Each structure stands twice: as structure tokens, then as C-alpha cells.
Structure 1
Amino acid sequence: MASTRSATFSVLDLASITEGSTPAVSFRHTLDLAQHAERWGYNRFWLAEHHGMPGIASSATSVLIGHVAGGTSTIRVGSGGIMLPNHAPLVIAEQFGTLESLYPNRIDLGLGRAPGSDQAVSRVLRRGLGAGGEDFPELLSELRAFFKPNSAPVNGIVRAIPGEGLDVPIWLLGSSGFSAQLAAQLGLPFSFASHFAPDYLMPALEIYRNNFRPSETLEKPYAMIGVSVTAADTEREAKRLATSQQQAFLNMIRGRFGQLPPPVDSMDGLWSPYEEAALLRQFGFAVVGDKEQVKNRLQAIIADTGADELIIASQIYDHQARLRSYELIAEARQEIG
């Protein structure tokens, strides 16, 4: 293991809709979590774009970012991420230009190239079959041009108002080497989705760091990694809380998408041996335990990966238990130093 080092901690929220609840309740819980996260010293609070999923309410990501930023004071708020091929770059420039104008120096624009849903939703969003993410570099270049101060209008006539001249930090997000390579070439910060693609984490970080070119944005690489964490006062309770996310993943691989289910005492009898193996592989990077266990595991992850920042995702059914999880993680961060 590498020498001990510290990292900044942030929050990734999906505005999960729990069984029997509604998006309105999820939005209240999201804001409450963000307000607590601000008090507990988290660096940023990101929301992810997903569509057509009964258990995720963050589809109108820019709108929800405004809701969270308006209810907080200092924590950075942004997207983790906006799936750029779903949108016209001008629209995203205007939306995030508006957010930055309302909440100066607090808005992040994390971008991904996946659809954030299935092909049927992609067709509806993109109004055709020609935009599957392969044009992401061109879309990104167009988006960045809209933010440049005193630049020539895109296509000779189009300007983003608001947006033009505003410093909205752009991050590239990914779960493979594509965005790692592009972020390195452009000198942008990079966030890897290791909470659902753990096998590709180290190769992607190597690609990013080995090919990084300094830019006006960054002098050296800056890597953030996603980590799924469930913390509780006891290991037993943490393992029980984690079964909500495990059940949700089990339903997903069976093709059944629903709201986040309540935890169960044991997953025995709920999965086949094959499904159990697939789930354990998927969550091989997940951290589940009491504060000491979480602290030790996160410390090891920071040391092994050299991550500059961890963004913590915790899909927990009970809102108070989720708050407690993030509180314990914040305490662990203080002890790591």
C-alpha cells in the first residue's frame, strides 16, 4: 500500500424514490442531505441525470441543482453528470450559465457521454438514432466555446446568454478509458464511476495521469472517484442497510426497475448463486461497516488509488439512516486527516 494521504470528500445523490414514496419527498430529502453535508464539511454535492427510472427522481438535473444551491450557502453543487449527447450544447450552456449567475463560484458541470437510460428513452430524448455518444468530443468542444469570453459566436451567430464569459468548471465523467483519455488531452479534471465499474478504475486512472496535458484549467491531473458507502453505528446494521441497494441491483439485472426497497435482514433466498456472484463483483469496491471499518477502508482506497477526491454515493432506504451514514463518513474523514 502507498503512503497515507488525504482526500476531499463529496456527495453524489440520485434523489432516490423509496417504495411507497414520491419524487416530492425525495426532493425534500435531497435538500436536507445537502444542508447537512454542508455543515459536515463535504466539498461538493452532485446530482446525476437518469431518465425513465421509477426509483430515481433526478431526471431534470439542472432544475434540481438550482433547488439544492438555493437551499445551501457554501457547498459546491453540480452534475455528476449531465449526459451531454442527450442535449443541445447551447441549452446546457444557458442552463449552467443561469445557475452560475444565480450562485456564483458554486456550480460544477460534470459531463458524461452515456444516455442515462435505455435505448427507448434515448430515442425520445435525442429524436433519432444518430447520437449514441460517439460525437461527444465535438459536442464538448461546442459547449466549451459557448462559455469562452469575447469569443466568436458558435456557427457565426449563436451566443449563450447567460453563459458566455462565465467560469463554470467542467469535469469529464466516465466508466472506461474514453473519457479518461479525453480529459487528459484537454487538461480537465476527471471523475471515474468506480462505484459501478470497479474493474476499470486503475486502468482509467493510469490513462488519465500518463497522458495528462497541463491547461489553463489544471496544471496537474485531478482525479475524483465514486465510492458506494453504507455506514452505521454497527457493522450488522450497515450490512442490513446495504441490502436496499443490493435488492435494487438484483431487480435491475432481472429487468425489473422499481423504487428503492426497504432493507432485509438477509439476502439469502432472494438471489441465485449466479446473481449473488454478479452482485458481489459489482459491489466489490463498496464500503459497508461501522465508522472504524469505513475509515480504514476509505483510507486504503485513497492510498491505493492516489485519488484527490472521493464522491460518496449512499443509497439507503431510511432518510435518517442515510443522514447518519454521511455523518459517520464525515467523522471518519476528520480522523483520516
Structure 2
Amino acid sequence: MALSKISILTTLLKLAGKLPLRVAQALGTGLGLLGWWCRSESRRVTEINLGIGFPDMPEDQRRDLARASMKQTGRTFMEIPLMWEWPVERCLDLIKEIDGEELLSRRDPNQGLILLAPHLGNWELAGLYFSSRYKMAALYSPPHMPEFEDYMIRVRGRLGSELVRGDRRGLARLITLLREGGVAGILPDQSPRGKGNAYAPFFGMDVRTMTLAAKLLQKSGAAVLITYAERLPDAAGYRIVIRECEPGMAENDPVIAATALNASVERSVRRIPDQYQWEYKRFRHRPTGLPNPYHPGKLCK
């Protein structure tokens, strides 16, 4: 009987999950460079995004940044099996420093906390770290293969972290958790679907931005911080970085709130721009009638 796609995928993940960090990162670097040399779609999107984000950067520097980003994204890809398959303690041992921990120690334990975790560095490790410390729920989108969802929930929930879908029921669950003093993790830099969005600047371009974080803050009275796991050089591990967000994220005006959210993400990305996932088409949803940066000659609808 032929193996199903999900069986093959999980087998590959388990095999990759046996690698040491240094080997996984080296393989990821190779994958990123292969995509660069082959002039892949990922390279095209990366170069377009960096052109939008850093228009004043000299062309040769921007090209070097694009190449470095491809390498870092390859490392992120190869680190995921480690974060999913390694024992939790082995993953947490990779954390060598926590920058901004005082923001957590000052937190009122009875007040909920929203953690914004953009696609910067190793976001899977950041999730593990916080779920090891707090009663936590994380918002997620179901994978394209429904059979893979059970595996993903199991590995991401090893420390009791609850995964909730990004629907009405999931939103209600997050509000309840936050009112109980829990922690909710959100990826803030995806292009949202549906009506829960506003157009706000991100690296100088107005793009569709989620309003979910603002709604959660308004309905729960929670605090909000932004965090990421910065990859250290030479496979030395990671630094958990925790920062305050820009003011205005709980404003009733969705544009003001979305602008504060994007500014918070942008400030973190500018610190380590090579570790951001520039391969994602973050600028594809713009106000109607404006040019689509990824398809010359086409307008956004």
C-alpha cells in the first residue's frame, strides 16, 4: 500500500528532527543559496520587498541583504523540524540570553498579555519559550493538508499551549483566556482575509493589516508586547528579545491601531532585517486601484 502524503511528510520531519542545530542550519543555508542561484520566485519576491522597504539603500547592499535573507529563511525552514521533534528542554537550552525580561517581571499577573511574534528569527522557539512559562494560546491557520493539522497541534502544544483557529470561536476563546490573565500569541504580519482589516503603512506602503490585536486589547484590557527569537552567529543558539509596542494599538480607530501594530513590527525588523521572512508577499493587498508590486501592469482589487 502506498504511503500517504502525510506519512511521507511526517517521516521526513522526524528524520530532519534528528539533526544537530549546526548541520540543520548549514543545510538551510544551502537551500537558501540554491534558491538564490536558481533565481527562484522566492528571490524575486525578496528583491521586490527589499526594494520597497529600503529604497534608499545602495543597490549592491540591497542585493547582499536579499542573499542573506534567503540564507536565513533556509535556516528557519530547516530549524522547524528541530523545534517540533526535539525534546522541549533541548530546544529551550538553545536560548542563551533574554533581552527585555524585565518587561515580563513588571507584568500584573492578573492582566492578560498579547505577544506579537512576527516572522522574524525563529518564531517556533519563541512560542515554546513563552508556553513554558505561561498559560498560553496561539492563533493559527489550518494547514492546506487537513491530515497534517493533528500533528501540528500535537507538536506545538507539547507544553500545554492551546492552539485556536482564527475564526469567531477562536476569537472568543482568546478573549476569555486574556480576561483570566493568560497569554495569547499572534503572528501580526500576515495579510488578513475577510473584513477584519485596515490599510496602514508598513515600510512606507499602505497594506492590508489585521485589526484582531486591537479588538482583543479593547475587549480584554490586556497588555501587549512584541517578541522574537534572534538567531545568533555560528549556530550558538538564540536570543529572546522582548520589546514594548508603539502606542495606539488599542485605539478604536482601526487605521491608528493598525499603524501602531505595523510600526512595532517594522521597528523590530529593522534591527535584524536579514532574519525577516522577506520571501512572503506582504505587500500584495493594497488599496483598490494601486499597482500590485508583484505583477507589473496589474492593479490591486
Q: What TM-score range do you get, normalising by the shorter chain?
A: under 0.3
TM-score (norm 2): 0.27
Quick one: higher RCO (CA 8 Å, sep 6+), 1 or 2?
2
Normalized against structure 1, the TM-score is what? Answer: 0.25
